[in-house]
Amino acid sequence: MPEALIDLRSDTATRPTPAMRAAMAAAEVGDDVSAEDPSMNRLQERTAEMLGKEAALFVPSGTMSNQIGVRLHCIPGDEVILEESAHIYAYEQGGVAQLSGCATRTIKGHYGHFTLEQVQDLVRPDNCHYARTRLLCIENTSNRGGGSVWPIERIAELCDWAHEHGLATHLDGARLFNAVVASGIPATQWCKHFDTVSVCFSKGLGAPVGSAICGTRKHIDHAIRVRKVFGGGMRQAGIVAAGALYALENNIQRMAVDHANAARFADLIRNVPGLKVDPARIETNIVYFYVDPKLGTAMEFGAALKQRGLLVGALGKQQIRAVTHLDVSAEQIERAGAIVREAAEQGGRAEKRQPAAAGAYE
């Protein structure tokens, strides 16, 4: 196996830069459970300001921030509306049911998006036989939608409808800043339509750990209690807060490089026989492509790529995902494209059995 692997499995693969490590090493720390960590307090204040919310709370993961968001708006027996490929539904182990006792009602969208027409009849009647429809969730950008950016007009329309019908709204903005950079629309404009917002620091922003849940001061006061019972309270957490704060201050606009690299990678493999890029238009940093069964399954083709020095994620029988990030250069993208073409031309299977590059990558 080549020594220098190109890792396109996820943008969670990023490692802190020397400058970020220096900021983390120099961070002031305190007991964050008691709200006494100055670095964490600065991060939360800055995050809330950037998203146009009253307050924010740092948590260890995007799953926790989303699940706190559900818990803030729902009680056991309530129902959550969301798209069927949404992270909250597909990749959080049924946490809506496990942690908050809520039901889910899914919509079959198009590249992770859905329309007002699809939800208009989904609010259940006020009747003791039914779950109470309580929350509408949207993921922007949509992971399983190929990193697609929602039209902001549709988000406004859906959230207005939800509020008119007594529903709360939550944005899974794990890759929100990818949407900001791709669209030119500020984070405040995306977030103003939602009651709560989750944002991730450890994907394209490149911090080693953490997400935040944002909303009103009342929401965050409640979120502090929920985080504690979910096991997310931390002590001298300023070390990781400093990495996230560095990322907010330095790594947002550079995401345009990741987007350009993803588009270039898609162009390099688009006409390779046996492969199909879908969707054809790459908006941010995620590229999905399908492998013809003649080249093997996605896992088998992924193993062939791994043997040649490229790591990707097999997310379906014939579907592969590649994600660009700050640890991948333009030169590596050119090499990655050549590896994919070579593997396809040589039949798509590894010369010897390799561990599959599969998994529910975030």
The verdict on 148 and 262 lying in the same domain is no
The verdict on 55 and 72 lying in the same domain is yes
Please indicate, yes or no, if residue 71 is contained in any of the structural domains.
yes
- Tell which of 212, 233, 250 closes a domain: 250
At 225-244, the pLDDT tens digits run: 999 999 999 999 999 999 99
Please indicate, yes or no, if residue 192 is contained in any of the structural domains.
yes
The verdict on 170 and 300 lying in the same domain is no
Residue 21: which H helix or E strand, with range? helix 18-25
The verdict on 298 and 279 lying in the same domain is yes
CATH number of the domain to which 275 belongs: 3.90.1150.10
Please indicate, yes or no, if residue 354 is contained in any of the structural domains.
no
Classify each residue of 31-43 as buried b or exposed e, where b means 16 or more C-beta atoms within 10 Å of its C-beta. Answer: ebeeeebebbbbb
The verdict on 139 and 218 lying in the same domain is yes
The verdict on 283 and 196 lying in the same domain is no
Q: For residue 265, what are the domain limits?
A: 6-13+254-345
What is the distance of C-alpha 4 from the center of its chain?
26
- 232-235: which pairs have CB atoms within 8 A and are 24 or more residues apart? 232/59, 232/60, 232/64, 233/32, 233/33, 234/32, 234/33, 234/60, 235/31, 235/32, 235/33
Please indicate, yes or no, if residue 274 is contained in any of the structural domains.
yes
At 258-297, the pLDDT tens digits run: 999 999 999 999 999 999 999 999 999 999 999 999 999 9
The verdict on 290 and 179 lying in the same domain is no
Residue whose structure tokens are 């939602």: 194
The verdict on 261 and 243 lying in the same domain is no
The verdict on 119 and 185 lying in the same domain is yes
How many domains in the chain? 2
Residue whose structure tokens are 């039914």: 130
CATH number of the domain to which 78 belongs: 3.40.640.10
The verdict on 295 and 270 lying in the same domain is yes
At 98-135, the pLDDT tens digits run: 999 999 999 999 999 999 999 999 999 999 999 999 99
The stretches in the chain having pLDDT less than 70 are 1-3, 351-361
Please indicate, yes or no, if residue 202 is contained in any of the structural domains.
yes
- At 352 the pLDDT is 57
Please indicate, yes or no, if residue 352 is contained in any of the structural domains.
no
The verdict on 178 and 236 lying in the same domain is yes
- Tell which of 209, 227, 250 closes a domain: 250
- At 4 the pLDDT is 83
Q: What is the pTM of this model?
A: 0.95
